[in-house]
Amino acid sequence: FSQATTAPPKKKPDPVTSETVVIWGLRLWQVVGIFALFVLSIIITLCCIFKCRIPRTRKEIEARYAQRQAAKNYADKLDTVPPLSELTDIPG
C-alpha cells in the first residue's frame, strides 16, 4: 500500500508562451524573429550571389531556353571560324 506523504505536490512547470524569456533577456517571439531575419538574409544573399531566379511564366522559360540555344549555336559557329591570323594572311 502507498503511504500518505506530507510533502507538497510537485509544481507543474510554467507553460511556454510568446512572452517567456528564453535567452539573454529576450522573449521567445524576439528570438524567433531574429532567427527568421537571419535565415531570410542568408537566402536573399545566396540568391543574389548565385543569381538563382525562378521563372514566373511559361514564356520566360521558353525565352530562356531559346536564348541558351542561340548562345550555344553561336559558340559552335565560332569554333568553325579559322583564327584571325589565317584570314589576314596575304599570299606572296
The ranges assigned to domains in the chain are 28-78
- The DSSP element (H or E) to which 26 belongs, if any, is strand 26-27
Q: Is 22 helix (H, G, I), strand (E, B) or coil?
A: strand
Q: What pTM was estimated for this model as a whole? A: 0.43
Query: Of 33, 5, 8, 6, whose CA–CA distance to 18 is shortest?
Result: 33
Say how far apart CA 26 and CA 70 lie, in whole Å: 56
Bigger pLDDT: 86 vs 77: 77
pLDDT digits (tens, 9 = 90+) for 8-66: 778 887 777 777 787 888 888 888 999 999 999 998 888 888 876 676 788 988 999 99
Place of cell 542561340: 70
What's the pLDDT at 79? 84
- Contact predicate 70/78, CB 8 Å: no
